[in-house]
Structure 1
Amino acid sequence: MGEGGHRLLSARGVADAGWLYGAHVARYISPLLLYPVLTRRLGLDGFGVYAAGIALALIVAVVVDYGLSISGPRDIAGTIEGRGVIVGQALAMRGVLAAPAVVGGVGLAMINPVLDGAGFAVAMAILLGVGQGASLLWFFQGIRDPAPAAMLEVGFALAATVAVLAWPSLSVGGVMAVQAAGVWAGAAASALLLFRRHGVTAPGRGFMRRALVEGAPLFASRAAVVAYTGAGVLMVAALAGPVQAALYGVADRLVSASGSLMRPLAGLIAPRIAGLLVEDAGAAFRTARWVLGLSAAGFIVSAAGLTLAAPILVRLLFGQGFAPAVEVLRLLVWVLPLVAISQVLGLQLMTPLRMDRRFAVIVGVGCVATLGPAVLLAPQFGAAGMAWARIVGETAVVLACLFGLKAHWGALFQTRGRRDVQAV
């Protein structure tokens, strides 16, 4: 496998990956346990409202997070003395950003016809989003000890899922209220753990302006990604109505649950590559090359499997009423290998190379390449039109990432030892 591969698969790395994926399953995939129940309880229209609320929560979370879940592990891994300062600034930033996140969430809900009149559901979606954005798992990733925080997130998220399943009379807003309670309980417990293990330094005067400027590229890239991926349900709802939003929502949830398996890996690999770029640049690019090949191949296989299994999955998980979602799912699954490639090239390689501004521009290109076709296709073809728009946009992101890394092609794609170092 080579030196990069062996380092990647160290015993500690495998253990950390296990805990991160456990937390990931609780946060992103365990809601799939709810979907077979909620689609039957709420019906197409009600589930369309729920899916739009979850998309709204994702947008709010991105504003509160402001790219810290990406830059935080990198910055924490790169220092020991300054960790208290980083944490203090992060907490202050999130406290300040919560207000514009709430205002933005209310504004988006007001202009979306599917969420019109669903005041309690909107409020709980915003509360859920603020809690998700306030997660402190990034700190524990940076110190390479994610297990404690991951255990807390797993426990509280699963408890919320069980509560929803056991409470059949919950409305759309009630479901999101219980989920928000689980997220906030996990965040509070992680904060207590952090304060017990590490001191926090109050930020100095003038830090906010500097932090906003420095974090702007990563925030812009995250916001653009959400605008054309997670917020796709909101766009379908606005352009094609709640039924098409529900059909796109169930397909998107299945695809997102599969594709987001890359996120915990990024939290481990990006700090590792950042460290190797200083210690051994050749090993850093060999690690990136292995992850790129394995993840692309794995998600091609996953996409093919989901294409074949789509009719069975939709019928078993969501019921016969969601049968039109089969064709949407068969289209949308082919964004998986494209997303895998762009996440390795972007989040796991360009971010450690501190090419944040370039990556923000690339994601902006992907946003335009998705939303433009979506405006044309979704009103006529509904959820399927949005799926085609996603494929176009993700293809544009991959091509742009490859172009942006052109100066590093030699180091990334060749395999002869020391030549990798010279190519950097």
Structure 2
Amino acid sequence: MTHSARSLFSNASALFVIQIANYILPFLLIPYLTRVLGVSLYGVVAFGLAIVQIACIITDYGFSLSATYKIAKQSEDKPALRKIISAVMLCKAGLLIPVIILLGLFIFAQDKYAEYQLFLWLLLLPIIGQTLQPIWFFQGIERMAFITLYTVLSRTLYLGLVIWWVSVPADHYWVAVANGVGSIVAAVIGIGMMLRLGYWPQWCGWKFVKQTFSESTEFFWSRAAVATYTAGGAIFLGLVSTPLQVAYYSAAEQLYKGAQSLFSPVSQALYPHMAKHRNFPLFFKILKYVIALGLVGLVSGVLVGHWAIQFIFGVDFAPAYPVLVVFMITFIITAPSILLGYPFLGALGNSKAANISVTFAGLTQLILLALFYLLDLNESMHIAVTVLLVETLVLLYRWVHARRMYRALICSC
């Protein structure tokens, strides 16, 4: 194994552990929460967590892609990295202001979740914590192992606090507090480790801050577009349907995201690796394994999905099984699509194609949601179908551009 391949494997392994901490550990809470809170109240909590996801997309503003790429390209220039850190942190902190205002307006402008206002306000804690975590920095320098330990610690803390604090439905707001405490602890330790490595923020001037913000705008719109068919599904159901439908949708989506979590660390580690080394044989080998994994996920979802949903979430969640089958079909689409996006097109300098693919898909999703709203199709199954359609559109667009770009690169060699 070459040095670059070993580096990729090491970072992917670290990211895999982080993914387990970020997803699997909170996932262990779901059987507990669904039984303590009940289906409808769990739907409210799932709606709140979707709000956190949307808010963090705004505060991230695409820096998880643009800053990662920029840092990977200048990883040997420490003074330059200090300026990038300063600019990104300032931008992310500034973006918290509109997020707080928007959340406040939502809380005061609607009556549907009036009795859950405290829970909604407490969502600011995980939003702030996740915003300040410097994962984009460690991804860029390909040293993700440095944050594996604190990520596991923070997620374990979240797990323990929820079990400690939430024992009856009235305790639901402690879910937001526990999530916030874990996220803030992760941010504090992550920033501390970054400083200990010698990467202190260095004032770069407002012009550089503005440039850094502007460079990430393209990535933000692509992330915002993705949000329309990821977190947007739960948000849509929470606004126009019932907490019950949010619960069914979120239950199936959690298993779908669990399948995605098995390969997303490889995608995250592959992005800076391909930007540096352009290792095509390794990329296509990984792509084949990921497609095979998608097929396994579909078969598993069909065969054991009904049992898995009732075992994990409880018998009241049995209606979520058809939604899960649709998500497992979607998984076959998204698995190769993600790899063809930023790890391939983006890393080779054509991030525009990757961004346009999800922008078109996001607009398509908005049109579909508007159409379904007019037709009164507001159940979890309907929204899952829209996700399948737009993810297929993303894959087709990326496949065409990736194939064209690869052929051009081969011909020029």
TM-score between the two structures when normalised by the length of structure 1: 0.89
Q: Report SS of the residue matched to 1:380.
A: coil
Q: Percent identity?
A: 24
Shift of 1:409: 4.3
Q: Report SS of the residue matched to 1:118.
A: helix
Structure 1, 45-54 or 95-104: larger mean CA deviation: 95-104
Q: Report SS of the residue matched to 1:405.
A: helix
The CA distance in 1 between the partners of 2:332 and 2:91, in whole Å, is: 34
Aligned partner letter, 1:13: L
Aligned pairs for 1:333-344 (under 5 A) are: 333-344=328-339
The CA distance in 2 between the partners of 1:357 and 1:236, in whole Å, is: 31
Q: 1:196 to 1:62 in 2, by over 3 A?
A: same
Q: 1:62 to 1:385 in 2, by over 3 A?
A: same
1:391 aligned to 367, 388, 405, which one? 388
Aligned pairs for 1:151-300 (under 5 A) are: 151-167=149-165, 168-169=167-168, 171-198=171-198, 199-277=200-278, 284-300=279-295
Which residue matches 1:404?
401
Which residue matches 2:94?
96
Structure 2, unpaired ranges of 5+: none
Structure 1, unpaired ranges of 5+: 1-5, 278-283, 412-419
Q: 1:165 to 1:191 in 2, by over 3 A?
A: same
Shift of 1:111: 6.1
CA deviation profile, 1:249-285 (whole Å, cap 9, x unmatched): 11111111221333322221011111124xxxxxx33
Which residue matches 1:122?
120
Aligned partner letter, 1:226: A
Which residue matches 1:19?
14
Q: 1:112 to 1:135 in 2, by over 3 A?
A: farther
Aligned partner letter, 1:190: G
Aligned partner letter, 1:263: S
Shift of 1:371: 3.1
Q: 1:317 to 1:95 in 2, by over 3 A?
A: same
Aligned partner letter, 1:400: Y
Shift of 1:406: 4.7
The CA distance in 2 between the partners of 1:142 and 1:214, in whole Å, is: 16
Conservation of the 8 A alpha-carbon contact between 1:56 and 1:129: no
Shift of 1:71: 2.3
Structure 1, 92-101 or 366-375: larger mean CA deviation: 366-375
Q: 1:195 to 1:151 in 2, by over 3 A?
A: same
Aligned residues: 405
Conservation of the 8 A alpha-carbon contact between 2:240 and 2:378: no
Conservation of the 8 A alpha-carbon contact between 1:66 and 1:218: yes
CA RMSD of aligned residues (A): 2.1
Shift of 1:191: 0.4
Shift of 1:109: 5.0
Shift of 1:313: 0.8
The CA distance in 1 between the partners of 2:153 and 2:261, in whole Å, is: 20
Q: 1:261 to 1:9 in 2, by over 3 A?
A: farther
Matched, 1:422 2:403: no
Aligned partner letter, 1:402: W
Shift of 1:302: 1.2
Aligned partner letter, 1:78: K
Which residue matches 2:315?
320
2:57 aligned to 39, 46, 62, which one? 62
The CA distance in 2 between the partners of 1:361 and 1:114, in whole Å, is: 35
Shift of 1:227: 1.8
Shift of 1:308: 1.3
CA deviation profile, 1:201-221 (whole Å, cap 9, x unmatched): 112122332222210111111
Conservation of the 8 A alpha-carbon contact between 1:48 and 1:114: no
The CA distance in 1 between the partners of 2:94 and 2:219, in whole Å, is: 18
The CA distance in 1 between the partners of 2:282 and 2:194, in whole Å, is: 30
Shift of 1:12: 3.9
The CA distance in 2 between the partners of 1:409 and 1:353, in whole Å, is: 9
Aligned partner letter, 2:253: D
TM-score between the two structures when normalised by the length of structure 2: 0.92
Structure 1, 353-362 or 96-105: larger mean CA deviation: 353-362
Conservation of the 8 A alpha-carbon contact between 2:134 and 2:190: yes
Conservation of the 8 A alpha-carbon contact between 1:39 and 1:318: yes
Q: Report SS of the residue matched to 2:115.
A: coil
